[in-house]
Copies of this chain bind each other. A is one copy, B any other.
Amino acid sequence: MDPQTFLDIATKVTKLKMYPFFDIAHYTLMCMAVREDIPQTSSGSPFSRKHPLSCWLSSMLLCFGGSIIANMLLGESMLSPFKDHRSILTATAVWYLIFYSPFDIVYKIGRFLPCKLVVAALKECQRAHKVYHAVIHTAKLYPNAYFIIIIIGTVKGAGSGFMKNFERLVRGLWIPGTNELLQPSFVTKACIVASSVFLLERLNYITAPHPLIYFGIVIFFVYFKLSALLLGIHDPFAPFENLFCAIFMGGMWDAMRRAVTSEKKEEDKENKNDIPVKSKEDKKKD
């Protein structure tokens, strides 16, 4: 491909407006996540019929989870996503269609694989957009606080994962044994990487033109999302992580300790084998 054309495409991607399509894709996936997380009860009417308020609020908590948690962490108003009527009403419309559409048609379309792929791809573009703007915004507030910049970038990009436990609590469920920090998903790790890249760009450690970097992150998100959906590759970072843990997170020392312990045990065994022989000799002598 002509480099200039490629750069033009990248520039266009950088300037994409999120509002109608990308945001709707995000809300669709979040509402479907809420719906799929509701435990199936055999008897009577489903949860969404009995508790519409709780259902709506838990969907909104996931849709705007990133902003809510980031605002809470930064000591700003947690309700600020509710300031924007257009987003809230769009999210509410999506929620309504996912849960209450006639013959469940919207939900069924959403689960149809080609649609799912398109929606997921749009959502990953929106994720890159959110991470980038979170990094820029936080870097203005706390110019030298690199940890805070990466934390906020990650939380805005992968907010729904961190919100999961509390969103479930709104629905009367409490599952403390799992959380995003205990078993970080690929999305969370990818957001950490993306935030770090954007931070390094801002600190002038990466000198490529901005649209290229941004477009690279978008492709990175979309590529791994589609490969997860189509090929079932859920965590491409796993081998690197395992290697890192094996070297730095005690794996090496544990192995050395095991080796030393087993050597000692073998020596002990040999000694034990020696002793009875000696005692036998002693017995013979006796």
Contacts and interface: CB of A to CB of B under 8 A. Distances in A.
B182 A103 contact: no
B146 A85 contact: yes
Nearest to A58: B181
A91 to B, nearest CB: 11
Contacts of A102: 253, 256
Copies assembled: 3
Contacts of A146: 85
Interface in A35-76: 45, 48-49, 51-54, 57, 71-76
A79 B74 contact: yes
A254 interface: yes
A77 interface: yes
Interface residues of A, number: 58
A249 interface: yes
Nearest to A257: B103
Given A73-B77, A79-B151, A172-B179, A100 B248 contact: yes
Contact of A172 (B45, B144, B176, B248): B176
A54 B85 contact: no
A145 B54 CA distance: 21
A133 interface: no
Interface string A119-149: 0000000000000000000000010111110
Given A48-B250, A184-B53, A75 B71 contact: yes
Nearest to A99: B250
19 contacts: A48-B249, A53-B181, A57-B181, A75-B78, A79-B145, A79-B147, A82-B148, A82-B151, A83-B145, A83-B147, A88-B147, A99-B250, A100-B250, A101-B253, A165-B169, A171-B182, A172-B176, A172-B178, A172-B182
Interface of A: 45, 48-49, 51-54, 57, 71-79, 82-83, 85, 88, 99-103, 142, 144-148, 151-152, 165, 169-174, 176-179, 181-184, 245, 248-251, 253-254, 256-257
Given A79-B152, A83-B142, A85-B146, 8 more contacts: A45-B254, A71-B75, A72-B78, A75-B75, A83-B144, A170-B182, A172-B176, A172-B179
